[in-house]
Amino acid sequence: MAGLTKLGVGADPQIVLPDVLAALDRDGGVIVENMLGQAGAGRIRDELAADFDRWKPGSRSDLDVWQTFHGARTIRFTGLAARSDAFVQYGLLNPLLLAVSDALLLANAADYWLNTGQVMAVGPGEPAQYLHRDENNWPEAVADGRELTVSAMFALGDFTRDNGATVVQPGSHRLPAGVRRGPADSDGEFETAFAEMPAGSGMIYTGKVVHGAGANTTDEWRHGMHVSFVVGWLRPEEASPLMVDRDRAAALPPRARDLLGWGSYHSDGGGRTWLVDFEDAGRLFASEPGG
């Protein structure tokens, strides 16, 4: 069985960055222990505990395709920046995930923003999710050699093969652009790896690699948190500024605000989008009178 490379990160993510990028280039995904840290994972879980208790498992969609994708025994919710300071500190502003996104996405865009931050708590008895590529959210923009999105699946609790660790097909990111969906063992073209990792770790992966949540055959929940970025010229999956209101945004660091869509996009070619009164949305937070 193919495995994913496992690395560890210390205080300076730049040290491990070349190894992370090499593993992503080779396999499309890489596990980084301590990416959130035990403390970060613990604080996020504590701050989201009431939401985990409140949300019911299952999809909120009427469509079969989404019900299957979301899973009847999986709890999912978004809006994490509105709910948790620790999410902002450890997830949204995660230094290694930002460094990887700089390296892969700034080749194709002047900036990027949050695609979505969501928890995926896979419950006992949940079958494996069908495999997919995240970049197919934007089929019109998908192209060979162009990275549109970078993701991390963070382990808020231990990920094991039995409790639903993310399934990855290493090397599948090299397949030609196109929709790839199906059960984990559908084609046999690629070997399957399981992102088994201790709480506080993250599995970084590109939008091109085929992956999905594993089956949970245990009687425990698998607590995961997905954080992904998308190039600034595409519309993200999650409407973050509709979830994070202006007062909440004002309390966040400027980079966090930009990533959440409370800033504008300035293309390298001079075009500007997502403006407020013809100027950068960041001016909404300027302290000068009339700013």
> Where do contacts with ligand AKG occur on this chain (CB under 6 A)?
120, 129, 153, 166, 211-213, 224
- Tell me how far, at minimum, the Cβ of 125 lies from ligand AKG, in Å: 15
Q: Which is nearer to ligand AKG, 83 or 222 (CB)?
A: 222
Q: How far apart are CA 239 and CA 48, in angstroms?
A: 19
Rounded to whole angstroms, how far apart are CA atoms 193 and 176? 20
Nearer of residues 20 and 153 to ligand AKG, judged by Cβ: 153
CB of 71 to ligand AKG, least distance (A): 8
- Closer to ligand AKG by CB, 43 or 76: give it: 76
- In terms of CB distance, is 235 or 246 closer to ligand AKG? 235
C-beta of 81 vs 131, nearer to ligand AKG: 131
| Least distance from ligand AKG to the Cβ atom of residue 3, Å | 17
* Of 207 and 263, CB closest to ligand AKG: 207
Minimum separation from the CB atom of position 211 to ligand AKG (A) = 6
- What is the distance, to the nearest Å, from the Cα of residue 3 to the centroid of all Cα atoms in its chain? 21
On the 0-12 / 13-18 / 19+ scale of CB atoms within 10 A, 291 is: exposed
| Intra-chain end-to-end CA distance of the chain, in Å | 58
How far is Cα 154 from Cα 132, in angstroms, rounded to an integer? 18
Shortest Cβ distance from residue 52 to ligand AKG (Å)?
A: 15
Q: Are 33 and 6 in contact (CB under 8 A)?
A: yes
Collapsed DSSP state (helix, strand, coil) of residue 246:
helix
Q: How many degrees, rounded to 5, is the angle at CA 147 between CA 145 and CA 149? A: 160
**Which of 40, 214 has the CB closer to ligand AKG?**
214
Least Å distance between CB 122 and ligand AKG?
A: 6
Closest CA relative to residue 239, chosen from 118, 116, 70: 116
Report, in Å, the least distance between residue 87 CB and ligand AKG. Answer: 17
Element (H, E) at 239: none
Secondary structure in 3-state letters for 76-112: EECCHHHHCHHHHHHHHCCHHHHHHHHHHHCCCCCCE
Helices (H), the chain: 13-27, 37-54, 64-70, 80-83, 85-86, 95-105, 240-243, 246-250, 254-259
Cβ of residue 146: shortest distance to ligand AKG, in angstroms?
A: 20
Specify whether the CB–CB gap between 9 and 88 falls below 8 A: no
Q: Which is nearer to ligand AKG, 34 or 216 (CB)?
A: 216
